[in-house]
Amino acid sequence: MQKFFSHSFARCFQPLFGAACAVALALTLGVAPAEATTKSKTASKSSASTKQAPPKAAGNSKAAKSGKSAKKVSASGGSKARASTSRGNSVARVAASTRSKGKATVSAKRSVVRLPAEPARQSFGQLYGLHDTQDPLSLKSSVAYVLDQDTNEVLISKNSQAVLPIASITKLMTAVVVSESQQSLHEVLTISQDDVDTEKGSSSRLQVGSQLTRGEMLHLALMSSENRAANALGRHHPGGLSSFVAAMNSKARQLGMHDTRYVEPTGLSSQNQSSAQDLATLVKVAYNFPLIRELSTSAEYQVSIGQRQLNYHTTNRLVLNPNWDIGLQKTGYISEAGQCLVMQAQLAGRKLILVLLDSAGKYSRIGDAERIRQWLISSDMVSLGAGGRRLGVLNTPAAAPTVQSTVH
């Protein structure tokens, strides 16, 4: 009977005792009671069969090892096990942090996209093979032309008949048409949205709404190659911009510039094209306007826009060079045209017109002008006088059979 009651009592209180153990184990392990119950049952079975240590905490293998040691050592060994567990947790946190940083680093590296550099756009002269043309002066410009202003004697001719984009050399014709229109130079013009460059996206310090006189606009267009000023000059022409461009082309035909065509007054469009021979004609005509000579060779200029003062400078550094006596000049550049330069200058006692087109390099047009000047002022050239000297006939590459290149 006593054994019966003992067995019945054990069966009745065993579930309550198991639940109490589960709660105690949950508090110890920091897990949910349901999970602790499962772990308790597992632990009981494991303890009854193999007498192994309690199960390890989730994700902590070092704690499991310390639990095994706790079964074999004294209370002091248990404290060491708890210390080991603490260290294991710290190691786990450091490892997790390192993995997190590593993932962040990988993510950051993957977000960097390196695009290949866009190749430089070739000029028309490069596409036509004009840069293959050799000359005794080793000029970097694929087109060169030097003309005696008084005698019309050609001293240098390299691909002078090639028709190419002329960039801001266009503004010389713009200045000629403005000068011949006899409009007041004191009339105030306003920069509008129509003057903003949509062809090349070039910038300008003349903001929309800026007001300057026609004379100031012409000054900036010739000296600093200011595109918005040049477009505003054409837009304020009688009949508007289309009428102005028609006047530019009419003047070219009148001057016999049969290789020349204009579509706008700034030169930003590659459809503005001409030949070196035609441009020499334009320089000779533009030189007849004292205002164009003065403004194009100005070194610097200041304009007032509201309360702001804007300082502008020449785009041709040869203007500042005491070795040069320049009477008129204009520079130009767009990628299709390369670096361009036209000038009227007095060299070796002669008034000469220089045209350099499609020069490959930021400063190469200046270098070419210096090479020509050195050749012109050499002792052999001076001793021969106006007759000059013959440097030889240049070979024209097969890629451009219609282009003639000679130097006299």
Catalytic residue among 168, 224, 274, 359: 168
Q: What is the pLDDT of residue 9?
A: 45
Q: Which residues make Cβ contacts (< 8 Å) with residue 212, sequence separation at least 6?
A: 188, 189, 191, 206, 220, 229, 303, 305
Give catalytic status of residue 47 as yes or no. no
Q: Quote the CA–CA distance of 170 and 262 in Å, as a whole number.
A: 8
Q: At what angle do helices 227-235 and 241-254 cross, to 10 degrees?
A: 90
Give catalytic status of residue 225 as yes or no. yes
Which parts of the chain sit beneath pLDDT 70?
A: 1-119, 379-408
Q: What is the pLDDT of residue 251?
A: 98
DSSP 168: G
Q: What is the pLDDT of residue 361?
A: 84
Catalytic residue among 56, 140, 171, 330: 171
CA 35, chain centre distance (Å) = 64
Q: What is the pLDDT of residue 196?
A: 97
Starting at the edge strand that comes first in sequence, how are the strands of the sheet with 154-158 ordered? 326-334, 338-347, 350-359, 141-148, 154-158, 405-407, 392-393
Catalytic residue among 225, 270, 274, 359: 225
Give catalytic status of residue 72 as yes or no. no
Q: What is the pLDDT of residue 362?
A: 83
